[in-house]
A and B are shown apart, each in its own frame.
Chain A
């Protein structure tokens, strides 16, 4: 792994140009007081994911004990853009897992859903979702239209407590 690369990597410089800068701190009208909204700010997502993507694009060759390579910059950049589109303040940042071949997988395991978005390259995505409560599997092959994923992320924040009782 390159030393001292966190602040100066090409990905870090790119990442600073994307991602919302919204904060979850808002001013209350009339009082001048400020309040912190519940949820996850875009800045929280941005900081966590930028750091992680920087790490993944800097992985040493053989990181997996075989011939693993770092996540490709073009793949990481596309993933960052995808995550920017999928951002939802009610959802925690996802886990990012590298493949041995420069790909990466975005995943959430929460609210009785398993969502795995395998980014094989720019505009080449294989996504799956398993609903533990309904026992339903869904698989998608996506290129440019990632609209279905936005609904999946929205479902992660939904109140499923009634369904959980029935299940």
Chain B
């Protein structure tokens, strides 16, 4: 087995409590696995007068600023393995649009993607910067913005 890192989230008891380890890249996430990022149809959308359109803000693709924080995502393969329809999962409990990236595309930018289950979302993951988890360079952020594909489309909104 190809371990990119030995650091993994640790599940305790019933799996409803998880202690997260340091940021890492998950070897079990295959290159062509889809990584889903939810997009709020109101908060993440801006008017781009240069292109005369409404589109997703780059802020939607920036990591959180806390230590070891990254960019929250959903791991499609985990959702499917649980017998859940992914498009239904990422639009519950509130509707959001969403975009997706192939894991390989994220890694090609020098970023890590790993499991990070949280209460209420066992299929949650994170995209982390490397070497600094909570920092994407401008180039990485722009590449994510440009490389996103609709997963659950928001009407009348452009991707980038």
Contacts and interface: CB of A to CB of B under 8 A. Distances in A.
B141 to A, nearest CB: 9
B59 interface: yes
Nearest to A69: B64
- Majority secondary structure, B binding face: loop
Nearest to B43: A98
Contacts of B47: 95, 109
B90 interface: yes
Contacts of B90: 65
Given A105-B57, A107-B57, A97 B43 contact: yes
Nearest to A124: B65
Interface residues of A, number: 32
B43 A59 contact: yes
Contacts of B46: 95, 97, 107, 109
Interface in A38-70: 56, 59, 62-67
A55 to B, nearest CB: 9
Nearest to B62: A99
B143 interface: no
B50 A100 contact: no
A112 B60 CA distance: 22
Interface of B: 38, 40, 43-44, 46-51, 57-60, 62, 64-66, 69, 72, 90, 94, 96, 118, 121, 124, 138
